[in-house]
Structure 1
Amino acid sequence: MGILQLNPYGLASLTLPHNFTTNTPKSIKASKRLTGFSRGRIRAVGTIPDSESEAAPSEEPPAVNFAFVSSVLLPDGTPDVHFRVACGGQKLRDIMLDSNIELYGPYSRPLLNCGGGGTCGTCIVEVVEGKELLNPRTDKEKEKLKRNPKNWRLACQTTVGKPDSRGLVVIQQLPEWKGHEWNYNKEPPSESEP
């Protein structure tokens, strides 16, 4: 029997003993609610390989790590952060919607947003970290965001890297509705700090 583990980003990894063999593939499903990281459920689905050669560890495929910071705080006063991983070359809007990350907030009704056309300006996000992985601002963004800070983007007009990109992107959701200030620290606090 193998061991299924979830890492801090919500990805599953399957470890199999060396003597494990099977004739037919079997699916493994696991659900785990991560307190403080996600409101939804994370479902990891894997397949047990037919031979040991398939079970050999391989290099991880290129992927971009995301940290989405909600516009509201958790009851303990800390930011609500959702960690996700996606392939590069996709629109930020699609990544957020596919990952069940709140994008539109109070504008979520169909008649209040343009569905990704870049004309309504309701999918504004703030890029805290990783702007080097994003495409430059489009003409539609320049028009809609001319009075906003330079690190604000329209998710529907923002392409995240290329298919072979790797890195970290930290996104503040609904920056115009943010009711708190927080700082992004690249390094974890030392043990001597409270």
Structure 2
Amino acid sequence: MGSVQLNSSHLASFSFTPSFKHGSRTRRAHLRPFRSQTSFSTSRIRAVGTIPETDPQTAAPEEPPCVNFAFVSSVLLPDGTPDVHLRTACGGQKLRDIMLDNNIELYGPYGRPLLNCAGGGTCATCMVEVVQGKELLSPVTDKEKEKLKKKPKNYRLACQTTVGKPDSRGLVVIQQLPEWKAHEWKYEKVPLSESS
């Protein structure tokens, strides 16, 4: 139904008709040359100088550095899949602040002001599980070591964890409220030959 025209210095134009089903018949997509005023052989087309030179001053600015987050809720969706919230933030911030600023549930049943320490690192109610991206997080603090000594090594306190630096890029996957999660993560070691 639609047509796509690819023009670069009037070298070539194409029309594309998508496939669709109607009743029991299926019509196939086809690509056919668009008839233009100039004729040329389709077997030998050579483009010369079709890419314009870019001026460094007018080039599009590069995207600012940011860290991508996938926050996995502790409650499953009705179809049995995890509820994942995708967000982005600048590095150099506390994980707690990123979660609260993006309306991501952090405290669960301890959400009332008198039930948590508001970021002091003394109550351990902002505990999260780092599924992926621990290399972007700050080292474990002494408060975390004290409060999480009986927990798995990938548990962190969001109020004590700084995410990267202002120029950091990457992905961090965080399990919210890990003590009440309805699913289990399976951690597998990937052999070096498969990881590259």
Alignment TM-score, normalising by the size of structure 1: 0.65
What is the CA–CA distance in structure 1 between the aligned matches of 2:127 and 2:162, rounded to whole Å?
A: 14
Q: Does 1:138 align with 2:141?
A: yes
- Counterpart of 1:145, as a letter, is L
Contact 1:127–1:151 (8 Å) recurs in 2: yes
Instruction: Specify the alignment match of 2:99 in structure 1.
Output: 96
Pair 1:69 & 2:72 matched: yes
Amino acid corresponding to residue 132 of structure 2 in structure 1: E
Aligned to 2:183: 180
Given candidates 154, 161, 166, the residue that maps to 2:164 is 161
Amino acid at match of 2:86: F
1:13 match: none
**For residue 87 of structure 1, what is the aligned residue in structure 2?**
90
**1:79, 1:182 within 8 Å by CA — same for their partners in 2?**
no
1:104 partner letter: Y
Distance 1:75 1:184 in 2: 25
The 5 Å alignment of 1:18-167 reads 57-167=60-170
Q: Structure 1: 5+ residue runs without aligned partners?
A: 1-54, 186-194
Tell me the amino acid that sits aligned with residue 90 of structure 1.
Q
Aligned to 1:29: none
Contact 1:141–1:157 (CA under 8 A) maintained in structure 2: yes
Unaligned segments of structure 2, at least 5 residues = 1-57, 189-196
Larger gyration radius, structure 1 or structure 2: 2
Shift of 1:183: 5.0
Root-mean-square deviation over aligned CA pairs: 1.8
Given that residues 96 and 103 in structure 1 are in contact (C-alpha distance below 8 angstroms), is that contact kept between their aligned partners in structure 2?
yes
2:174 to 161, 166, 171: 171
| Paired-residue identity, % | 85
Cα deviation 1:87-133 (Å, max 9, x = unaligned): 00000000000000000001101111000000000000000000000
AA partner of residue 108 (structure 2): G
For residues 184 and 97 of structure 1, do their structure 2 counterparts lie closer, same or farther at Cα, with a shift above 3 Å needed? farther
Deviation (angstroms), 1:58: 1.9
State how far apart, in whole Å, the 2-side matches of 1:65 and 1:150 are: 22
Aligned residues: 132
Q: Aligned in 2, Cα 1:148/1:84: closer, same or farther, shift over 3 Å?
A: same
Q: 2:37 maps to which residue?
A: none
| CA–CA separation in structure 2 for the residues paired with 1:77 and 1:99 | 24
2: CA distance, partners of 1:73 / 1:182 = 13
Task: Determine if contact 1:66/1:169 at 8 Å carries over to the other structure.
Answer: yes
The two structures have a TM-score, normalised by structure 2, of 0.64
Task: State the 1:180 CA deviation.
Answer: 1.6
Query: Is the alpha carbon distance of 1:164 and 1:125 closer, same or farther for their aligned partners in structure 2, counting shifts above 3 Å?
Result: same
Shift of 1:181: 2.1
